[in-house]
Every structure is written in structure tokens, then in C-alpha cells.
Amino acid sequence: MTALRADRLDYDDPLELVEDYHRRGWTDGLPIVPPTPAAVERFLDAAGLAPGDVLGTVPTREVVVTAEHAAINAVMAGCLPDYMPVVAAAVRAHLHEKGNCHSTTGTLSGASQLVIINGPVRNDIGVACTAGCFGPGFRANATIGRALRLVIRNVCRSVPGFLDRATFSTPARYSFCFGEDEEGSPWLPLHVERGLPPGSSAVTVHSVMYMVSSPDYVSRTAEGVLDSLARTLRRQGTAGDKWLGDGTNVVVVMGPEHRRYLVDAGWSKADARAYLWPLLTAPQQPGEGRVKLGHPEGLLLVAAGGPGMAETWVMFPHLAWAITEPVTERMERRP
Amino acid sequence: MAERITGLDPTSGPLPEPSGRVAARPASLDGAVVGLVANGLGEAEAFLDALYDELTNVHGIAGAIAVLKPSVSVPPEPDDWQRLTEGATVAITGFGG
């Protein structure tokens, strides 16, 4: 392996290192794991990456993000070495031109970066996909999402007050990562719908302006559940940009209490989109926002969550599809 | 004695110090051509138009160069930059909704 290039700092003990990283502004406010050279090399080895491999760039900031940068921040986030291929894929996805790092991490709106994991890697590293999967308690979810955010902060320079200009920001910027419940659903997984082969592993990164729950405890049919979802989408509308067109991408995460009515009726994700499309594009009524989806595939349906609450979550996007889209990146190596 | 520990710098380099200087302010707007750069959010154009009207009531403004960015998230088009830098004495813009 070629040599690590990052500057080295020596300390008398790990706690001194942690406190100094806080003082230097290199954390999200939570403690970090010391990124020792040996740990960083283990992470790079786990992903088959060389330190200088370029994962992406932020041209407006003259920033080049290398595998070494990602590995250092993944160690700091508390990842295990086996998570590194996922972290690298998430960084690549976010730094894709359509991931629009500069805008989505500098924005006044404080958009968060949602990482959705698909494929066998979920089970290999223990990604939570069912009950509680949006929240704390799952190391892979917590640290992979945090690793991406630390890269955004430390390497891409989205530091609050500097290039992060969020008015309020959001707790989802600490970490926001979960997996699709592929075992709990007969549907095509998100990454396969987006063109990757079954059996592959991938991450999809979507910048989320805000998210709302669409509860419906009454409906007992696929149509009823989707009618409720359409009402939620129409009530909220989607943020848009009149110069860039009407195409946005909305991630809809449907829990099992809603999913089962669609599955029992034999509906696929495509069937759900076909039913929703005319409901979402019908003329706007007073009090409603416009749902600016350019095409039915702009609605990304994901199976996740646990039993109990009959709800579906809607992740509204940051800006329009002409400059920002969810990006799916195939993982090049499994642990 | 505890063993020393080495950590790696996780950044892409130090954050730059603010550079450049604030441009000199004109002593008066009399005779000035005012650039109005709207970002397209909310009522930005209407606000800038109203602000321009107020300025013309107070100062002897010579004219305006109105620029509408193609999107909130991109800079003005090169032609618009050229119109501003070549023709405007001062420019007004803003951000947010």
C-alpha cells in the first residue's frame, strides 16, 4: 500500500487526542474514535482501496475527496473495517454531479443526506431495516451515516457558519442511514429497480429537505393506503425551481402495516406508482401544493420499518432533478 | 507511562481565512446604474423592483440592469456577469426565500 498522506499529530493519550479534535472543529460535537494510521490502513484494506484513490470532487470548493479521507473519517465515526466499502460507495454517490454536494450541504434549508443500503451487504454487516431503523441503536446505521457527514464536514468543508449555512439544520445531519427490508417484502429492491443486478449490493444517497409521516390506521386496501399517501403528498407539495422544471424525486418508505395490503393484492412497486400517478398529477385544489414529479419513476418506493404503526414516511427532496437526484452506487467489494 | 498515540488529520486542509476586501462604497448613488440580481426564490424579483423604485425616489439613479439567475443554486449566466461588471456601478442581491 502506498503511504498515507495526511498530517500526523501525536498525543500522550487517546483522550487528549479526542479533546484536541473537538478543539480543532473536526467532529460533529460527539466524541470520535482516534484515527490512527494502523486503523486507517485496515479500513482501506477492507475496501481494496489505495489512499490516493479519488472518490469524488467538489469543484466549487476545489476539494478532492480521497479514499484516505473517507477512511480517516469512517474510523472517527465508529465504523468497523467491514463498513468501509459501504462508506466509500456512499461518498461516491453523494459526490456524483447529481448528488450536488455544494448545494445540498451548504443550503439554508439544512437538507440531510439519507443513505439507503440494499443487497446482501445489509446482512453481512448488520444494517437495520425493520423496527426502529431510522433511529439509534444500530452501529452500522449510526456510523455509516455519520461517516458520510464527517466527510462532508471535514473534507468538503460544510462547517456551520462557513460553508454550511443552514438556518436550523436537522438532527438527521448527525446520521441518517437504513437498509431496505428486502426479506420482508416481495418487491424489487430499490437498487434493482434502478438498474443494478439482483444479488448486488448498493447504496442510494438522497438529499432530504424534510420528511413527514403519512399515517392511515383505517384503510384495509391497497387503494385506501395509497389514497392516503397521495393526500399527504398533495398537501405538502414538493419544493421546486421554476427554471429547472418539474421533475423531482420523492423517497417513500412504506412500513409493513401498509405494505401488506399492497402485497396481498399482488401489487408491485410499479403498480403502486401507476395507481398514484394520476392522483398526484390531478389539478391542484385550494390548500394543496404541487407534486412536481416529472415521471412516475420519480417516486422511489422503499420497504422498511417495523410492525405496529400503520404509517409510511415521505422524504421530500432538496431542489429539482435537473441539478439534484438520488444517486445509486454499486458497492465494488463485499466484506 | 502510557504509550503515545498518533492521529491523522481528517480534513482536506485548513479552512481559508476570509480573503479579499470589501469593495469601496460610492459616496453617492447619483448617476449610478444599479444591478439587481434576483435568485428566483419567492418574491425576489418583486422585492428588488420595489427596492429600486424606492432608490429612484431618493437618489438620482441613472438606470438598472436586472439579472435573473437561472436557478437558486447556480451563479448568473456568463453574459449576465458581463453585463453587470461592465455596466453596473453597484449591485444588489440577496439570498433566501
**Would you list which residues of chain B are within 8 Å, Cβ to Cβ, of chain A?**
2, 4-12, 15, 40, 70-74, 95-97
Note whether A125 and A196 are same-domain residues.
Answer: yes
Note whether A198 and A71 are same-domain residues.
Answer: yes
Give the minimum alpha-carbon distance from B29 to chain A in angstroms, rounded to a whole number.
31
Which chain A positions have a beta carbon within 8 Å of B96's beta carbon? 108
Q: Which of A201-205, A289-293, A311-315 has the lowest mean pLDDT?
A: A289-293
| B60 three-state secondary structure | coil
- Residue with the larger pLDDT of the pair A227 and B49: A227
Q: How far apart are CA A198 and CA A147, in angstroms?
A: 27
Note whether A227 and A177 are same-domain residues.
Answer: no
Cβ contact, residue pair A150, B10, below 8 Å = yes
Which residues in A41-51 are b (16+ Cβ under 10 Å) and which e? bebbebbebeb
% residues pLDDT > 70 (chain A): 94
Residue of A8, A11, A64 lying closest to B8 (CB–CB): A8
User: Does the interface ipTM go beyond 0.85?
Assistant: yes
DSSP tag of A164: B
Sign of CA dihedral B7, B8, B14, B15: negative
Cβ contact, residue pair B8, A65, below 8 Å = no
Domain contains A166: yes
**Tell me, what's the pLDDT at B73?**
66
Which chain A positions have a beta carbon within 8 Å of B80's beta carbon? none
pLDDT digits (tens, 9 = 90+) for A137-186: 999 999 999 999 999 999 999 999 999 999 999 999 999 999 999 999 99
Q: Which of A120-134, A167-181, A188-202, B5-19 has the lowest mean pLDDT?
A: B5-19
Over 60: is that where the pLDDT of A335 sits? Answer: no
Cβ contact, residue pair A63, B12, below 8 Å = yes
Q: Which of B13-22, B52-61, B66-75 has the lowest mean pLDDT?
A: B13-22
Q: Which residue in this structure is represented by grid cell 429612484? A: B56
Give the minimum alpha-carbon distance from A107 to chain B in angstroms, rounded to a whole number.
9
Q: Which residue in this structure is represented by grid cell 428566483? A: B40
Q: List the Cα angle A149/A102/A42 in 5-degree steps.
A: 35
Contact indicator for A160, A169 with CB cutoff of 8 Å: yes
Q: Which residues pair with A312 in a beta bridge?
A: A214, A254
What are the φ/ψ torsions at residue A244 (nearest 5 degrees)?
-110, 5
Q: How far apart are CA A206 and CA A214, in angstroms?
A: 19
Q: Which residue in this structure is represented by grid cell 451548504? A: A106
Q: List the Cα angle A71/A75/A79 in 5-degree steps.
A: 105
Note whether A127 and A244 are same-domain residues.
Answer: no
Q: Which residues pair with B36 in a beta bridge?
A: B66, B92
CA proximity to A29, closest of A150, A158, A210: A150
Q: Domain tally for chain A?
A: 2
Number of helices followed by number of strands (H, E) in chain B: 2, 4
Note whether A179 and A313 are same-domain residues.
Answer: no
Instruction: Provide the 10 A C-beta neighbour count for residue A56.
Output: 21
Give the minimum alpha-carbon distance from B45 to chain A in angstroms, rounded to a whole number.
13
Note whether A194 and A56 are same-domain residues.
Answer: yes
Which chain A positions have a beta carbon within 8 Å of B71's beta carbon? 241, 243-244, 320, 322-323
Domain contains A239: yes
Q: What residue segments make up the domains of chain B, in order of their start? A: 33-93
For residue A20, the chain B residue with the least C-alpha distance is B7
Give the minimum alpha-carbon distance from B25 to chain A in angstroms, rounded to a whole number.
25
Which chain B positions have a beta carbon within 8 Å of A207's beta carbon? none
Give the minimum alpha-carbon distance from B68 to chain A in angstroms, rounded to a whole number.
10
Cβ contact, residue pair B7, A21, below 8 Å = yes
pLDDT digits (tens, 9 = 90+) for A218-246: 999 999 999 999 999 999 888 666 555 66
Q: Which domain holds residue A95?
A: 14-208
For residue A58, the chain B residue with the least C-alpha distance is B12
What kind and span of H or E run contains B55?
helix B44-58
Note whether A184 and A218 are same-domain residues.
Answer: no
pTM for the full predicted model: 0.89
Domain contains A18: yes
Note whether A62 and A196 are same-domain residues.
Answer: yes
Alpha helices in chain A (DSSP H): 14-23, 37-47, 67-77, 84-95, 101-106, 121-125, 139-154, 190-193, 222-236, 256-264, 269-281
For residue B41, the chain A residue with the least C-alpha distance is A241
For residue B68, the chain A residue with the least C-alpha distance is A243
